[in-house]
A and B are shown apart, each in its own frame.
Chain A
Amino acid sequence: MASVAAWLPFARAAAIGWVPLAKNPLPPPPFRIPTSGGSPSSPSTSTTSASATTVGERRCDEKLIINISGRRFECWRSTVEKYPDSLLGSNEKEFFYDEDTHEYFFDRDPDVFRVILNFYRTGKLHYPKHECIAAYDEELAFFGILPDIIGDCCYEDYRDRKRENTERLIDDRLHEDEDKTQPKPQSIRETMWRAFENPQVSTMASVFYYVTGFFIAVSVIANVLDTVACGPDPETGYPRSCGERFSRQFFCLDTACVMIFTVEYFLRLYAAPDRLKFVRSVMSVIDVVAIMPYYIGLFMNQKGEVSGAFVTLRVFRVFRIFKFSRHSQGLRVLGYTLKSCASELGFLLFSLTMAIIIFATVMYYAEKSVVHTKFTSIPAAFWYTIVTMTTLGYGDMVPKTWAGKLVGGVCSLSGVLVIALPVPVIVSNFSRIYHQSQRADKMKAQRKARQIRIRLARNATSNAFVAAKRRREQHSDDPNSSAEKNFVNPFELQHHHLLRCLELTTDREFIEMGPDALMSSGAGTSLIPGSNAMAGLGRFASPTSHFLLNRRKWWCCGPRRRRKNSYKLSADRANNINNANNSGDEFDEELVDLRVPSSLTPRTSLTLSHNVTAINVIPPPPEQQQLLQTSTTSITIPSLLQHDVVLHSNVLSPLLSAYNRFDLNYPFDKGSRNQLNRKANSLTTVYEHGSTNETTVDELLLKPDVGRVRSPSSITDYASHRLTNTSLIVDAQETVKLTKKK
């Protein structure tokens, strides 16, 4: 979440764009900086003095102190200015200058920085082997150094690890794309294509898959059995093959198989999104080669049998067996391995060819003198060399002279060596690809569980946000909790304010998702166990669930990368609610003063102190105050009343939500204010225990008539209570609407 904290001020600034569209007036930002000590003159003098010092520091032989997360490095200025394209060598480092300590502070990894600074010193960039490649790349990117310039000593290692990592990432991304719920296909064509590519999609697709597999097998077996000897020919007495005996049956079988293959090919061609690409792909070429011989055979039969070509065509029928590669992933892995080892295989072939030619030549000339020798020519000797080098040794050609035998011996020895050399490379490639495919399979199997976990984490995060927000709102009214205000987490405050602005713009309110929503696959309605909940929800579940289902399909990408952060965040929030210091290490504390008054405020501290006065606000409050005077944009009451607040996991939040709406004008029930306070306190205990779901379900069952909007307190009491806490009061009328302190 640290990176998001960096963007939070920006998001809040951009929220100005919501102001004209808002249904309800937007709340003022959390708190303002006290303007004490912020006179315009002093900061400007400080800046001029800073600039003076920076000008003065331009001398070349000056030492720079670079503080990387506490570890100080010192070097000459000229050292870093050697490479003006990088961060340290250019003006960009001035952004990181700390004027108090006169050093450059970077909040990065000191171990990797050591390597980077050595690059400036020695001109050679090394890659430390124990570092993760991704972290190293990130650091290089931060400091503006290209990985190209890694020195020769470490380059190979870097390249290999980088390639491995990229392949793994591409793999993961491919599978992530498959994981994403696909939008419903637009047309029959798309359905068909998806069915062809991924047989698990529907039952029809798997039926099709198995049927084609079966027919491929039948066709191949028929081809094989075609040639088996099947009994003697009654006319000539010679044994004849089954193909000749049962020629009509085999012909029918062949026709049926080819029919099916043709239909399948044309269906695939129709369904393919990019037909040209499909026609050029390997699988389609195999399909064509598998069925063409049949058709060519048909046409040739009509012209008359040309037996040589016909026989060749029959040979091509065996390529049907390659159609199995669509059905078998192992075959595809093997094919991919061979493709990726192409260079090694090429080397093997090349060296073998060289050796064969050499040895065959020598052998021929050695055996030339023998009478009735088998080594009639050099090409004839090739056969001997191949058989010897691969240690087959058929024995159909053997040397007779002693020179020939010597050469033969050397040939077999060298054969063993030459063939053994590229094999380990091929084996390692194969094992790498095989492990990758195994990992892919494992991930596929865990896909469903992972999606549920992602959804859980996401819901937990948002629940945690909402819960923390409510807790903050509720704590800020409780006078006993004043001591905790110093521990307030500024990031949370800002974030809650942003969420609140959106709530008011659209006149909705964030709720926590109940436990069933976490487990449901896509419905997203907050159904809760308990009969009373269902009664209240019944009206809302059906018409809107359809709507929600449509919404679900727009989930953004990137759930996986967020998962880790959100898990950590929600776990922290759940465990350490009152200890905001704990989450300080996650959040980036460097928020900026962005206020309208031109008085410049003291710089925020760079350390992770949760000093409340250091936190700043964004869009200036006066704008929003004036906004409230318009009646056109505040709709509020009728729309609120017409929606019954639906039950959700936190039973007490309907009451709280009304309590927190400061723009309500409808009459309040004084009597229920005490009830609210009591419930608020018990809510605190609920949150302190960390788990909301179990306890609130119990309370839900105890209070059967919860479910209507009840605004508990009188507005004036509420307002007066808030008056003391906020600093944005304009006049009494507006306090009603705008007093809200986070």
Chain B
Amino acid sequence: MSWVHSAIATTDRRPSRILESCKRFSRRLSTGITRAVRRIQVPDARLDSILSKNFQHPRSLDEIVKCTRFSKSEIRLLYRSFKQDCPGGNVSEERLREIYLQLFPQGNSVKYAHYLFSVIDRNHRGTFTFDDYILTLSVLCRGTIDEKLRWIFRLYDINGDGQLTRENVTEVILSLYDLLGTAAQPRVDEREILQHVDKIFESFDPMQTEEITMDDFIDYCKRVSFMT
């Protein structure tokens, strides 16, 4: 379009407003045609918008130090390894599943990763960030017995109704056996798994109520002194 501009420029200087509007119009026309011809592909733009949503920044170091029981240097170390693995800052359930698959190569980590993911991702956003990760670690490693037992209860309570039923415990135990996979001796037997479930559940629930609340669970574990 340059020859147009030069042609316009060399002619009359007085009607500068007309000149400006001509230039603007020609520019707009040319960009419009270029865009129509080039047909900018939408999927790439969508990919980038997804990418921008996925960049997650954690809260600042000081805030995290206040919320958890780790020191700054520990948090730094943890963050470094977290960021190395997951630069976008969002960990999906798929990624957790892959990780457990690598840790337990002969096993099937789908169920266990799903249960673990639901207990970490409290707000059900579909991914968890470094904040969730460090809060979980703080509870699990530096938390009081109560906090740990609460976490474990939430892990077992798959459907989130606040009560632990036989089905929940069965599901969790099944997921553990899945994790074991096929490379284990002696061979896994359905009957044995059910026996395991029965034994565990009966010991949790001596009064045969078939539903265990969080307080019952905590009392039981403390009584049996799992983790004093």
Contact = CB atoms under 8 A, between A and B. Distances in A.
Contacts of B71: 43-44, 47, 600
A146 to B, nearest CB: 6
**For the complex, would chain A's binding face be called helix, strand, loop or mixed by DSSP majority?**
helix
Contacts, number: 257
Given A10-B133, A23-B196, A622-B228, A594 B141 contact: yes
Contact of A508 (B73, B186, B204): B186
B225 interface: yes
A462 B181 CA distance: 11
Interface stretch (A214-222, A480-488, A640-648, A713-721): A640-648
Contacts of B76: 94-97
Interface in A93-115: 94-97, 99, 107
A85 to B, nearest CB: 8
B199 interface: yes
B221 interface: yes
Contacts of A107: 80, 84
Contacts of A92: 57-58
Contacts of A592: 74, 77-78, 81
Contacts of B78: 592
Interface string A141-156: 1101011100000000
Q: How large is the interface on B (under 10, 10 to 19, 20 to 34, 35 or more residues)?
A: 35 or more
A50 B75 CA distance: 14
Contacts of B184: 503, 506, 508-511
A373 B109 CA distance: 84
B55 A141 contact: yes
A458 interface: yes
A20 B221 contact: yes
B226 A20 contact: yes
Contacts of A23: 196
Interface in A612-657: 618-619, 622-624, 626-627, 629-630, 632-633, 635, 639, 643-646, 648, 657
A586 to B, nearest CB: 12
Interface in A243-258: none
Interface in A541-583: 544, 547-548, 551-552, 554-556, 558, 561-562, 565-566
A596 B141 contact: yes
Interface residues on A, range: 35 or more
Contact of B87 (A138, A505, A540): A138
Given A646-B185, A646-B186, A16 B140 contact: yes
A590 B78 CA distance: 8
A5 B78 CA distance: 11
B34 to A, nearest CB: 12
Contacts of A598: 69, 142
Nearest to B63: A91
Contacts of A590: 77, 80-81
B51 A94 contact: no
A13 B141 CA distance: 7
Contact of B102 (A1, A9, A593, A619): A1
Find the residue from B100, B182, B227 having the highest chain A CB count within 10 A: B182
B180 A506 contact: yes
Contacts of A646: 185-187
A626 to B, nearest CB: 4
B52 A11 contact: no
Contacts of B182: 524, 548, 551-552
A624 B88 CA distance: 36
Contacts of A630: 224-226
Contact of B172 (A21, A97, A619): A21
A283 B106 CA distance: 43
Contacts of B44: 159, 162-163
A14 interface: yes
B48 A147 contact: yes
Interface in B143-196: 145, 148, 151-152, 155-156, 169, 172-173, 176-190, 192, 196
Contacts of B110: 554, 556
Interface string B31-63: 000000101010010011001100101101110
Contacts of B81: 5-6, 588, 590, 592
Nearest to A13: B140
Contacts of B97: 556
A623 B226 contact: yes
Interface in A1-51: 1-11, 13-14, 16-21, 23, 43-44, 47, 50-51
A39 to B, nearest CB: 13
A554 B108 contact: yes
A11 B199 contact: no
A3 B100 CA distance: 11
A736 interface: no
B104 interface: yes
B67 interface: no
Interface string B6-48: 0000000000000000000000000000000101010010011
A11 B48 contact: no
A544 B188 CA distance: 8
B226 A619 contact: no
A675 interface: no
Interface stretch (A226-234, A312-320, A377-385, A494-502): A494-502
A512 B97 CA distance: 23
Given A14-B140, A96-B76, A626 B102 contact: no
A19 B196 CA distance: 14
Contacts of A596: 141-142
B226 A502 contact: no
A11 B152 contact: no
Nearest to A551: B182
A90 B137 contact: no
B183 A513 contact: yes
Interface of A: 1-11, 13-14, 16-21, 23, 43-44, 47, 50-51, 85, 90-92, 94-97, 99, 107, 138, 141-142, 144, 146-148, 159, 162-163, 166, 343, 347, 458-459, 461-462, 465-466, 495, 498-499, 502-503, 505-513, 524, 540, 544, 547-548, 551-552, 554-556, 558, 561-562, 565-566, 588, 590, 592-596, 598, 600, 603-604, 618-619, 622-624, 626-627, 629-630, 632-633, 635, 639, 643-646, 648, 657
Q: Which 9 A-B pairs have the closest CB atoms?
A: A643-B186, A623-B227, A6-B81, A142-B87, A508-B184, A13-B140, A95-B79, A594-B141, A3-B85
11 contacts: A6-B81, A6-B82, A6-B84, A21-B172, A91-B61, A144-B57, A148-B48, A558-B98, A561-B98, A592-B78, A646-B185
Given A562-B98, A627-B226, 6 more contacts: A6-B84, A19-B227, A94-B61, A506-B177, A513-B183, A630-B224
